[in-house]
A and B are shown apart, each in its own frame.
Chain A
């Protein structure tokens, strides 16, 4: 039996070493060490041995069994490595193939730009005020010191519902409503849709969007107006942005001004966006006219304030280099998906 065991060990060693896969190793384990395996059957025949031989052969059989097991384990470990290497080698992928995106929706570009502007003003202590798209001639013109015969009131400029009701031409009526319903200190921005009787073309739309701002309190100065708008411009267009305040005229503010920002496309060197001037006009502003404060029930001797307004469509178009306003209202998802 000793010879048989020695022979088995030699055979198993050869076969294990020659095994090509984990499967073959497993088969060999069964062949030699399984319940009906060859080493096992040697042990089963031990009962035929003498009492003296039994422990010796028993030990020997166990040694052989252990040797085969160790051999199997070590070869198995090597084989596993090799197989894993093969797996890693054969499973290579092209990492430049397209990703699996979960498709999210996109905000309209006008609202993407508006959100940015809202965040800036919220951070500066402003609240967001809203008002109706249809408003009164009183809120839109009269209370804002607009002369009775001002051309902007005409049918060729403003959409009328009846003699007293119109589609607001600016978001200023929200300012009026706010001043009439709240006591200073007031600090709001008023974004919204506005309407003017313009034929549709690449730069005109009968519906457009404005954002206006209003600050009313004691001791509000033009210096505050300048500081606020300069900070806004730097936040929106980058900290290197410079602002230029020029006198202008609006009936509802005095003194009034327009604000140019250094061109955020070329940094002020001159390009097609700033028409070579290095500056882009972006805002109208001024100190709230005392007539407007009085009309809204605020004593202009006690309080002063400033207001400003800008065109959201224009800013959006400049920012994203959209050259035709009509595209904004076509809502082709290939546009919207870009923002």
Chain B
């Protein structure tokens, strides 16, 4: 809401306030702003001038040479303007003046003729092109009065004051008006509001002979007031009115339209003017549209209506879409002799829906859909009539048509002083509260306890809690104490949150960076990781209104997201990367989705780099699992996962559960993501892993006796796994074996095809004595025998 301070001053006396004090205080009482600006900011040395003479430029067809009286002297100015005449008062930028855009005006010669300044247009004074009236569109601003020659134009036209851009919250539609903002100023600074002058009806009503109003659908139109103005003289409106409209961002059109817009800005009540003679029989009927009824609106577009929309009609045809836009068939024009003014109240939900369904928004609809008081029409009619008389725009026909079938009753809101203090944390007395409410024109009565009666324009005040807010904001949020809640609660992470944090800490200490990627992805992502058409993950939760295909479904796997990030890093020449994301995947319970889908927490790790391989990733996974106390799992080769290299993929198994899958990604997937290097991914079900986390660490005594180390190297079949060998060694060695770790694996020369040589370091130790070689030798033979018998191993 743009509020020119010059205009605001006609309702409240704030002459002694500077702009900053005004704005700062209003912010604290609830009217925030998006800043202020002066339309004519930086404009200097532009004065009122009078054109004394105009002659054709001797050397240029399109230029004229003017003699202009600027008070101190008569100067010659060359101009290309065509809308000026001798005797016109105009703004003159003198030598050395600054006009809009910081342009400096200097005297000079134009085609040989001296020009000592420039005649200014509205645009050159800083107005936006879109708000400049058509008549001045590319011409000089012709002043409408004989202003004192030589005076600063900004002072004379009151353009030296700022316009404040207020941010109006949806609960305060009444503040979308000059009066609404004036009332906020009044309450904030304790100054009275000067209400605008109204038309005073004296003569007996004649209006019935011109028009009638009938409301068929009072649910959508609680009130309709109409007034007739005859002997209309369509003219331009006075400059003061035009300038206020322009500063508020509205383009002046003609006196009648300008008055309706002016009063709308004053009161927040939309007003429409119909050409009375185009209204068949002068009969106004407010009714729902017929299905597929068509109306051509003021913007010359045909609109097809539905029977949910409200129209204003005469007996033959619709003449307006109620509260949204007038019809072209009843538009006022230069031949208009009489108008019917409509000041009505419409149901806000209906207006919002109509406006949305038609894709048609207007100043009127945007106000109606936020809510306009049903008490406004009568006084707004009188304000319009006052201005019509003041401007001599027409003759007001005595009498008002005011169809208002169900008069709204006055609302009384009971409130409790102690409750309000309890909410705010204040210690205000009843009297202090009443004083505050009074500033807001909220009357308080005391019958069976205190009751507040809000003013008609405050549609947002319905309950005691609404009064709490009013009292708090005018008392001042800054005046409220600062205390801490007396409640004693203790802050702590949940077990799940702790496990998650621990897992992250482990990953970070393994050198893995955390990433965060979008929850919505493209359906094609699953193609990219090579998933078959019938994969269950293809049942994805779909958005009705995505930003585009690439954000159209909720992710069912984090693998594509992680690969995308690795790909981006690889292609940005980051030579190595290790990343993880801990986040949700979305699995529908049924398709199409009816219930909330399952949100499963996944942990996906991905890496590439020159010296990295499957076992780097395996180490990261193992560190993470041991860090959160998950034990008893093992890796089992997986050859059927299409995302992975068939020979380099494993499932991580715990009991009957698969905790996740990891491996080198399939060359096709690697290629799909433009990764020019082998890349490794682990995709882990963190929900499941979390349930296996145990905090059961017990101290184990530090060994007191020395260990004996033995290496063993055997030849085994290629398909024999390290896991099998380790398990067998452990089983056959008994309690004295402390550890068994593979330290070499060799295939190639001197090793027969289909075999490999593997070497393990075994450590033996007793907790009770120093072991002798002999004892170890015995165990060693047992181990060897077991390997030979069960795995066909040969000692090397």
Contacts and interface: CB of A to CB of B under 8 A. Distances in A.
A124 interface: yes
A162 B423 contact: no
Contact of A228 (B172, B484, B507): B484
Contact of A195 (B352, B425, B519, B565): B519
B436 to A, nearest CB: 13
Interface string A123-165: 1111110001111100000000000111000011001111001
Contact of B510 (A105, A133, A160): A105
Interface in B148-174: 169-172
Given A187-B487, A217-B485, A247 B473 contact: yes
Interface residues on B, range: 35 or more
A333 to B, nearest CB: 5
Interface residues of A, number: 80
B515 A125 contact: no
Given A103-B511, A133-B584, A287-B423, A333 B579 contact: yes
A122 interface: yes
B30 A247 contact: yes
Given A105-B514, A134-B541, A197-B547, A249 B520 contact: no
A240 to B, nearest CB: 16
Interface stretch (A29-37, A47-55, A81-89, A107-115): A107-115
Contacts of B489: 125-127, 185-187
B258 interface: no
Contacts of A123: 491
Contact of A245 (B465, B477, B492): B477
B327 to A, nearest CB: 26
A287 B472 CA distance: 11
B596 interface: yes
B796 interface: no
B596 A136 contact: yes
A224 interface: yes
A248 interface: yes
B494 A329 contact: no
Given A126-B491, A231-B484, A290-B465, A248 B32 contact: yes
Given A105-B512, A127-B489, A255-B469, 5 more contacts: A107-B504, A128-B497, A136-B596, A215-B487, A219-B422
Interface stretch (B43-51, B377-385, B586-594): B586-594
B545 A304 contact: no
A233 B545 CA distance: 37
Interface in B565-609: 565, 568-569, 572, 574, 577-580, 584, 586, 592-594, 596-597, 599
A228 B485 contact: yes
Contacts of B425: 221-224
A331 B565 contact: yes
Interface stretch (A11-19, A199-207, A263-271): A199-207
B491 A125 contact: yes
25 contacts: A102-B511, A108-B515, A126-B491, A149-B352, A156-B545, A162-B544, A165-B596, A167-B543, A221-B424, A223-B480, A223-B481, A224-B425, A224-B484, A226-B477, A226-B482, A227-B484, A247-B469, A248-B30, A249-B170, A256-B469, A331-B565, A333-B574, A334-B574, A336-B579, A337-B513
Contacts of A255: 423-424, 468-469, 472-473
Nearest to A215: B485
Contact of B514 (A126, A149, A150, A336): A336
A67 interface: no
Contacts of B477: 222, 226, 245-247, 257
A105 B513 CA distance: 4
Nearest to A304: B423
B511 A105 contact: yes
A195 to B, nearest CB: 7
B422 A245 contact: no
B466 interface: yes
Contact of B568 (A121, A134, A186, A331): A331
Interface in B724-771: none
Interface in B485-520: 485-494, 497, 504, 507-520
A227 B547 CA distance: 41
B508 A223 contact: no
Contacts of A228: 484-485
B347 to A, nearest CB: 11
Interface in B406-439: 422-426
Interface string A202-240: 000011000000010101111110111011000000000
A122 B473 CA distance: 31
Contacts of A126: 489, 491
Interface string A168-191: 000000000000000001110000
A106 interface: yes
A193 interface: yes
A289 interface: yes
A195 B481 CA distance: 36
Contacts of B490: 125
B768 to A, nearest CB: 38
Given A122-B493, A206-B547, A246 B512 contact: no
B481 A226 contact: yes
Contacts of A330: 568
A245 B171 contact: no
A264 B425 CA distance: 29
B459 to A, nearest CB: 13
A254 interface: yes
A200 B473 CA distance: 36
B599 A134 contact: yes
A100 interface: no
Contacts of B584: 132-133
A162 B509 CA distance: 42
Contact of B579 (A185, A249, A256, A331): A331
A197 B545 contact: yes
Contacts of A287: 423, 468
Contacts of A134: 541, 554, 586, 596-597, 599
Given A219-B422, A224-B425, A332 B170 contact: no
B521 to A, nearest CB: 11
Nearest to B419: A301
Contacts of B487: 125, 185, 187, 215, 217, 220
A220 B485 CA distance: 6
A220 B515 CA distance: 39
B621 to A, nearest CB: 14
| Residue among B497, B514, B568 with most chain A CB within 10 A | B514
Given A162-B594, A228-B485, A110 B516 contact: yes
A317 interface: no
Contacts of A222: 423-425, 472, 477, 480
A185 to B, nearest CB: 4
A336 B424 contact: no
Given A132-B596, A221-B425, A222-B425, A254 B515 contact: no
Contacts of A221: 422-425, 483
B478 interface: yes
A71 interface: no
A244 interface: yes
A51 B678 CA distance: 90
A239 to B, nearest CB: 14
Contacts of B30: 246-248
B578 A105 contact: yes
A328 interface: yes
Nearest to A119: B491
A329 B514 CA distance: 11
Interface string B322-364: 0000000000000000000000000001001100000000000
B228 to A, nearest CB: 35
Nearest to B507: A105
Contacts of A227: 481-484
Contacts of B578: 105
B508 A135 contact: no
Contacts of A159: 520, 543-546
